[in-house]
Amino acid sequence: SVCFPKPGTTIILLGFLVFLEPKQAPVFDIKPESIDVPFGESADFECHVTGAQPIHITWSKDGQEIRTGRNYNITFTDNTAHLRVLRVGKGDSGQYTCQASNEAGKDFCSAQLSVKEPPKFVKKPEALRFVKQGDTVQLECTISGTPEIRIAWYKNDQALQASDRLHISFVDSVAMLTISGATADDAGDYICEAHNSAGTASCSTSLFVKGVFGCVRERTVISVHSLPAALPQLSLLLLIYTFPQSLRSL
């Protein structure tokens, strides 16, 4: 049966309105910075994210997801995501991306890791180099390392500068010193020095120039001061010749 209120009866209806705030998608308010790290040391990326919980964090390198283990350690505490590369090597250079996601959406942030590697001579010139007078001489070596490497050449500890006869180049990791028309004055010890912000390395070679009497390794001028006063002082040119076994038959 249906009951109806008597005339004059007051009816009170109670209701509740519930307002649900929309969930906030993740937003990175602190992002990681790109870093340069020496070879063999650890690298750290850290970022902070806001948004409705639960938030899921993933890290990737150059688009490939990475996980805790082997050379990586990943944590997410108090909305702070942290990635540590335990011991960086050549293969760890690249772009690292952190993704935060929840039911409302997702956000990304990225940073670059560059591994600083000191110069290393992958290919060195011969320890001894024998040429004939008038030859064009090329002293060449291959060098690895990052970041950018600077090259300097020295002869008998004196820095060399490019000239009409000397050409210095460093292209595609190959350092080259070219000497046009070698003379006895070009004989001596040559050093190639490579330098970057991670360190310095060098290699050396000795150049012998074969002349009429043999191979000139160095030329030395000696001043003679013990002559009588009536005679002018003289300067004698001392040529040091060597006859390597391999050249005696030439």
Concatenating the DSSP letter of every residue in 95-143 gives EEEEEEEETTEEEEEEEEEEEEEEEEEEE---SEEEEETT--EEEEEEE
Q: What is the mean pLDDT of residues 124-128?
A: 95
For the record, the structure tokens of 172 come out as 């595609």
In tens, the pLDDT along 201-250 reads: 999 999 999 975 555 555 444 333 333 444 444 444 444 444 444 444 44
Which residues neighbour 221 within 8 Å (Cβ) at sequence distance 6 or greater?
A: 235, 236, 237, 238
Q: What is the mean pLDDT of residues 110-132?
A: 96
pTM, rounded to two decimals: 0.64
Q: What is the mean pLDDT of residues 137-161?
A: 96
Q: What is the DSSP letter of 6?
A: P
In tens, the pLDDT along 49-58 reads: 999 999 999 9
**220 and 238 Cβ atoms separated by less than 8 Å:** yes
d(CA 71, CA 40): 11
The predicted structure's pLDDT at residue 249: 42
The predicted structure's pLDDT at residue 16: 64
Peptide bond into 147 cis (omega under 30): yes
Across the chain, what does the average pLDDT equal? 85
Residue 87 confidence (pLDDT) above 50 = yes
For the record, the structure tokens of 110 come out as 């990225």
Q: Which of the listed CATH numbers 2.60.40.10, 3.30.70.3000, 2.40.50.140, 1.10.3720.10 matches domain 27-115?
A: 2.60.40.10
The architecture in CATH of the region 124-212 reads Sandwich (2.60)
Terminal-to-terminal C-alpha distance of the chain: 132
Would you kindly state where each structural domain of the chain is located, as residue ranges?
27-115, 124-212
**165 and 206 Cβ atoms separated by less than 8 Å:** no
The predicted structure's pLDDT at residue 116: 94
Residue 77 confidence (pLDDT) above 70 = yes
Share of the chain above pLDDT 90, in %: 72
Peptide bond into 54 cis (omega under 30): yes
CA dihedral (141, 145, 148, 151) positive or negative: negative
Which range, of 16-20, 61-65, 143-147, 240-244, averages the lowest pLDDT? 240-244
d(CA 23, CA 20): 9
Taking alpha carbons only, the member of 28, 24, 197, 25 closest to residue 111 is 28
Q: What is the mean pLDDT of residues 8-26?
A: 73
Q: What is the mean pLDDT of residues 64-92?
A: 95
Which range, of 4-18, 59-73, 128-142, 183-197, averages the lowest pLDDT? 4-18
Which range, of 170-174, 192-196, 230-234, averages the lowest pLDDT? 230-234
The predicted structure's pLDDT at residue 168: 98
**184 and 199 Cβ atoms separated by less than 8 Å:** no
The predicted structure's pLDDT at residue 211: 78
